[in-house]
Amino acid sequence: MKFKHFSAWAFVALASISTVNAQKKSYIETLSEPNQWVDSVFNKLSRRQKIAQMFFVRALTNSTTAYEDSIGNVIKKERIGGLVFFQGGPGRQVILTNKYQELARVPLLVTSDGEWGLGMRLDSTISYPYQMALGAVQNKELIYKMGLEVAKDYRRVGMHMNLAPDVDVNNNAKNPVINYRSFGENKYNVASSGAAYMKGMQDGGLMVSLKHFPGHGDTDVDSHFDLPQLNFTKARLDSLEIYPFRELIRQNASGIMIAHMNIPALDNTPHMPSTLSKPIVTGILKEELGFKGIIISDAMEMKGVVKYFKDGEADVMAVIAGNDILELSENSDRAIKLVRKAVRSGRISMERIDESVKKILMAKYWAGLNKKDSLDEHHVVADVNRPESLALRQELANAAMTLLKGREVLPQLDKEKRTVIISVGTPEVTVFQKELGAYYQNAVFYTLDKNANANQIAVVARELGGFDQVIIGIHDTRIRPGNGMVLSADLKMFLKDQSQKNACFAVFANPYNLSQWGGLENSKFLLVAYQKEDFMQKAAASVFKNEVNPSGRLPVTVNTFFKYGDGR
């Protein structure tokens, strides 16, 4: 297997990647051209209907029929611009999308959050590695290919925009909301990885939305529940947080999502979320950075934006600030009425509305919505679980494997020696164990749950003297692999003890968790595999079997022992 290595900031590497839709103009390029379809639709819209195009509401396929019908009524009566799909399944979503598009007089632009593909929201679909793991991948062409595959999946289920990638620079290890969703702490690596993913999706005919401008990586507050504050200078924000956005704007990013954060250095209005700030959205993003694409608010129902601006005032201010799409208003009908009232009073100009509506309609044209068509409702699950996509996911997992210690140990591992393979953090025998058990001919398995006590650990520890090789997998079984993985104090002592006795470790968890397991820095072999999924466990097992060369590099600094760029 060959591995290509790219420098963390070599954006030019992407120029050599062949593109699928090289002949198709970028969305940004089309904005400066006259368009008959856009003009004809625009000219038929009333003032109220123009405003409604700016609002996108939540859609689900795992809710009740009553909920599905209620969204249908919103589409018919309010004539909104688009949908944001959340939980459900791909087949059900195709059927419902056909139904909703039939109800819409102007075709709906359909979106969802797919930072790691359709699987972020939908069952029976592929989840690629989280962006933290992708930040370890040195071959950016693999991430580009992932973007192409994600675009195929989105288009197959009738979606036109992915609210991704996340290009926040996660330089705060305590970040509760970004963290593993980021490519890491290095702005150059975030930008180059984000550019590869973005370019793949856009070349595959999918709109994107970089998030969360001007950068949500250095906060310890979740904007879903409160308003984070960034107390940095404009110079610091411009050189660090904004850097990936600036670079990707230069590479024709089609959309950008605004974060809900209070940033006094950019707008000193008390309690002002960046989403509602004209100096930030219009002044910095549009005027200073020259961004001409679609500007999308983060969800307008989040506490970070409505805590201080209640009863629909946030929606009005978001329009004034310069947002084109208002995602998930608390009450879209109320919001549309309030924006109309603001237009009548002179608080908002129709030119401000018209600018956004034309961009939205051009996005619909770029996505092919000018041609009325329905989605094929057959074989949807098979179509979004293609063998080549699954193979690429495994290739990405293999490329993410980050060996922090012990490259010289690999050739010494012998499949004929007596080997004990222990899973820590779960009571179940793991894929990692099964994969290695089929390779090491004299292997025995043990499992220790995350709450294992000294007596349970002692039973396992007494047996270890009879083995030549000890391999320990540390497994975070949570759906979202953040910080604070829970292991009992006795288990932590066991790990420390085994690190001094030549055990080999594989960590299926967020690398930030290494900081709480004292002693692993002294282990002879330490492999970071980032997350619990089967494809990551298979990749780690392949490293132990000398089938995969671990070429990943740590995308974050954990402590003085494990720093950004470590690995290989």
Alpha-carbon torsion, ordered 522, 527, 533, 537, to 10 deg: -120
69-91, pLDDT tens digit by residue?
Answer: 999 999 999 999 999 999 999 99
367 pLDDT band, cuts 50/70/90, is very high
The mean pLDDT value for 46-74 works out to 97
Q: pLDDT at position 5, please?
A: 37
Instruction: Report yes or no on 464 lying in a domain.
Output: yes
Neighbours of 266 (CB within 10 A): 22
Q: pLDDT at position 13, please?
A: 42
Instruction: Please tell me the distance from the alpha carbon of residue 490 to that of residue 517, in angstroms, as a whole number.
Output: 11
Q: pLDDT at position 127, please?
A: 98
Contact 323, 329 (CB under 8 A): no
Instruction: Report yes or no on 10 lying in a domain.
Output: no
Contact 399, 551 (CB under 8 A): yes
What are the distances in angstroms from CA 158 to CA 90, 92, 101, 105, 336? 10, 11, 10, 17, 26
Instruction: Report yes or no on 561 lying in a domain.
Output: no
Q: Say yes or no to pLDDT of 131 above 60.
A: yes
Instruction: Report yes or no on 418 lying in a domain.
Output: yes
Greater pLDDT, 415 or 304: 415
Same-domain pairing of 465 and 355: no
371-388, pLDDT tens digit by residue?
Answer: 989 999 999 999 999 999
Contacts 24+ apart (CB under 8 A), 427-432: 430/473, 430/475, 430/537, 431/534, 431/537, 431/538, 431/541, 432/473, 432/475, 432/506, 432/508, 432/537, 432/538, 432/540, 432/541
Give every CB contact of residue 466 below 8 A, 6+ residues apart in sequence.
Answer: 418
Instruction: Return the CATH number at 275.
Output: 3.20.20.300
Nearest alpha carbon to residue 206 among 146, 161, 253, 143: 161
Which range marks the domain in which residue 162 is found? 47-375
Q: pLDDT at position 527, please?
A: 98
Instruction: Please tell me the distance from the alpha carbon of residue 275 to that of residue 337, in angstroms, as a whole number.
Output: 20
What is the average pLDDT value for the chain, to the nearest integer? 94
| Axis crossing angle, helix 313-321 with helix 332-344, rounded to the nearest 10 | 60
Same-domain pairing of 193 and 264: yes
pTM confidence score? 0.94
Q: Which of 358, 375, 392 is the last residue of a domain?
A: 375
Same-domain pairing of 371 and 405: no
257 forms beta bridges with 296
Same-domain pairing of 354 and 423: no
Instruction: Return the CATH number at 512.
Output: 3.40.50.1700
Same-domain pairing of 455 and 517: yes
Evaluate the CA torsion angle 313, 317, 320, 323 in order and state its sign.
negative
Same-domain pairing of 101 and 215: yes
Instruction: Report yes or no on 14 lying in a domain.
Output: no
Same-domain pairing of 350 and 417: no
* Burial of residue 52 (number of CB atoms within 10 Å: 0-12, 13-18, 19+): buried
552-562, pLDDT tens digit by residue?
Answer: 999 999 999 99
Instruction: Report yes or no on 568 lying in a domain.
Output: no
Tell me phi and psi for residue 23, to 5 degrees.
-80, -25
Contact 150, 114 (CB under 8 A): yes
526 forms beta bridges with 405, 505
If you ran DSSP here, which 8-state letter would residue 508 be given?
A: E
Same-domain pairing of 148 and 241: yes
| Axis crossing angle, helix 387-400 with helix 534-544, rounded to the nearest 10 | 60
Instruction: Report yes or no on 465 lying in a domain.
Output: yes
Same-domain pairing of 205 and 67: yes
> For the stretch 486-500, what's the b/e string if a residue is b when 16 or more beta carbons lie within 10 angstroms of its beta carbon?
ebbebbbebbeebbe
Count of the separate structural domains present in the chain: 2
Instruction: Please tell me the distance from the alpha carbon of residue 89 to that of residue 85, in angstroms, as a whole number.
Output: 10
AA letter at 413: L
Contact 549, 411 (CB under 8 A): no
Same-domain pairing of 509 and 412: yes
Q: pLDDT at position 225, please?
A: 73
Same-domain pairing of 182 and 251: yes
Q: Say yes or no to pLDDT of 118 above 90.
A: yes
Instruction: Report yes or no on 73 lying in a domain.
Output: yes
CA angle, residues 87, 104, 257, in degrees to nearest 5: 50
Nearest alpha carbon to residue 214 among 246, 254, 250, 187: 246
Same-domain pairing of 233 and 338: yes
